[in-house]
Amino acid sequence: MSESIIGYVDSDGTIIDTQSAGESFDGTAIVYDNSEKALEIIRHSTAHLMAQAIKELYPEAQFFVGPVVDEGFYYDFRVDVPIGENDLKTIEKKMKTLIKQKYKIEKYEISKAEAMEKFAEDDLKLKVMERIQDDTVSIYKQGEFEDLCRGPHVPALRFLHNFKLTRVAGAYLGGDEKAEMLTRIYGVAFADKESLKAYVTMMEEAKKRDHRKLGAEMELFMFNEESGAGLPFWMPKGAKLRHKLEQILHKAHLTRGYEPVRGPEILKADMWRTSGHYACYGENMYLTEIDGQEYGIKPMNCIGHIQIFKQSQKSYRDLPVKYYEYGVVHRHEKSGVLHGLLRVREFTQDDAHIFCTPEQIAPEVLEVVEFVDSVMKLFGFEYTMEIATKPEKAIGEDAVWEMATQGLKDALDGNNLPYTLDEGGGAFYGPKIDIKITDAIGRKWQCGTIQVDFNLPERFEVEYVDEDNTRKQPVMIHRAILGSFERFIGILTEHYAGEFPMFLAPTQVIFVPIADAFTDYAYTLKKKLLLEGIDAEVYDKNDSLNKRIRTAEKQRVPYVVIIGEEEVTNRSVAIRDRRKKEQYNLSEDDFMLQLKQQLQEGRI
């Protein structure tokens, strides 16, 4: 067996580590590198190394689960003393000391009954075993440390040199908000120093760009725990930013044949039972009672659009019918996953539903892909597409799912559009194309989605009159380009590091008169800009000129304009241009023309 082999992939695509494979295993080798499967093994093993270090530093520590996640790995554990960010370096140092011990990672199996007796004094281990259905469990051991685990793991600790512990958090036991709060430490690991260094550099840049930090500095949005977790408040500048994004999309929808609609934010629970949301999504909904009847606050907008479609008889000549709505929805996210604007309990979807014939699926999906492409190019995002198939918890017949999934594949394949597959990742009512964007520092984000649905039209008896005068069931395409305004604005803020393009910036120009005598001209210019739809402010507070200029520049506005005697006399402006990183003078008319031209850059 090669020294660089850390595992295998069997015929089913399952990762088998070398401890499980043995010498004669016939599978595809996984070598020690930064491939997806190799990193899964490396990171899972590093989680155990971290747990071993914690156990040595805090002998009373007890461990729950330590999985690999998209951003690396974590371990949940109980400890008697608080652990903070300052303790991570100590844990890392202990991890490096343990690597020098040259421990191999060994695996052995015992019966579940033996394991329950072995860990009888460890209630967290007993809770882990409640999740295990098999009669036999596996245990991985390195030195004196051992833990229940399915694996996979690298053969020895010597493969685990390139890691970093990134943060400490709290996590409810088993994700249950009523349960005990455990300590969770996140980390990341790679196969080489260069990749780790690149990741650390990216994370340092990400900290500078954190939308929560920038949102507070720029007075875009706020949260108030007294009012409720995960409920964002939009401040004046943030509301302006949202409005500009909404207007860009509003025009783009109208030119593509969509019509604006608006549905209620609360519906009788029976509607959600008919749709399948109650059974498949009920744990994420907020339910209440009115006049003795159960109601549900909407987590999605589709039912409202169905009712609007059904309000009048439709002919095949009317199809496709396209409705769009900036729909406010509420979803019960667990408190442990709430994260600024990226994960909230109330948000606004740029939602749309297309009612069409089966023959129209491919062209309509392609038009949505074109819409997505134009939005992503406007904001400088690269993106990939992923087709997600039927999940375990789903409604509808397999044949219907296969037809819908094939419709998505045909649309993309027919136009040579690349995609990957996410088996089992679809919505409960239909398969979907997920849009994953890449931001300025290489992070990937899930945003838009295109979903083909035969099930809800059938459940709600949605019909149109076909050419032969028979009643047919339309196909329903659920579609969002941004995903939600909240999440997308959070991503945009980090993508641009708060320096939004002129057409989107909440404040586009700040005028700084150098003395009171020049304030009237500054306000005259401000009024002219506002009449052209350009947001401007005048900084004329009783502060020094340098302080007012610094304050203006901290707002990351596209233009800071200095107004002095020369500018008033010549009807001109002295510009500090953030985009060009330079200073120059323009006449008032030329400045207005330049701003109007840049506003046009926000068209899709």
Catalytic positions are 302, 331, 349, 351, 353, 432, 478
Which H/E stretch holds residue 166? Answer: strand 162-172
What is the phi/psi pair of residue 573, to 5°?
-140, 145
d(CA 159, CA 154): 7
Write out the two tokens for 326. 């900036």
36 contact partners, CB below 8 Å, separation of at least 6: none
Q: Is 581 left (phi over 0), alpha (psi -120 to 50) or beta?
A: left
With 0-12 / 13-18 / 19 or more C-beta atoms within 10 angstroms meaning exposed / middle / buried, residue 397 is: exposed
Asked if 146 and 139 touch (Cβ cutoff 8 Å), the reply is yes
* Beta bridge partners of residue 185, listed in sequence order: 75, 168
Annotate 476-504 with b (16+ C-beta within 10 A) or e (fewer): bbbbbbbbbbbbbbbbbbbbbbbebbbbb
Count CB neighbours of 58 within 10 A: 18
The whole-angstrom distance between residue 473's C-alpha and the CA centroid of its chain comes to 34
Segment 520-529 long-range contacts (CB within 8 Å, at least 24 positions apart): 521/563, 521/567, 521/568, 522/561, 522/563, 525/561, 525/563, 525/573, 525/588, 528/592, 529/592, 529/595
d(CA 119, CA 364): 57
Q: What are the counts of helices (DSSP H) followed by strands (DSSP E) for the chain? A: 19, 31
Q: How far is CA 414 from CA 269, 366, 521, in A?
A: 41, 10, 59
Closest CA to 522 of 502, 537, 542: 537
d(CA 241, CA 501): 11
Closest CA to 400 of 449, 361, 448, 353: 361
Q: Is 525 left (phi over 0), alpha (psi -120 to 50) or beta?
A: alpha
Q: Is 152 helix (H, G, I), strand (E, B) or coil?
A: coil
